[in-house]
Structure 1
């Protein structure tokens, strides 16, 4: 069972710059499970992270900067119920 679970929305120039793939790499490196996806508004990315509290926190911190080429303007984080994810994937 995950120590911490959150829903995240990242706003800015975060689509078309490899944000989801970089996020997946970071999540796997940190041992965080869940998912990340582009939203239909073409300006935000949503994600669900669950795992060790420190690792989830580190992934949220990474989202505040994102990969090279992105420009993050805001990150909203909300507590969520764990879903029992066993890996991290890109959806949508």
Structure 2
């Protein structure tokens, strides 16, 4: 089935859905709306809590990270190594 045929069939099927069945139409609308939004701003990955990371959010985070580096807000590898040595020391 071609894309045009599929669109036509979807239109025909939606026409058969009773107007009273608003909950079904809301589900279809939500699915289509989510799909279209993801095409505009695709999901690149997920945070550890399951929150999606979109391309626009990722680019904003990358821009902020670059700006922080330009402001001198970073630590050197040597500083990180020294700091990480503290992580392995037992606490009393």
- Give the alignment's TM-score, normalised by structure 1: 0.21
- If you compute each CA radius of gyration, which structure gives the higher value, 1 or 2? 2
Higher strand content, 1 or 2: 1
Compute the TM-score of the two structures, normalised by the length of structure 2: 0.21
More helix by share: 2
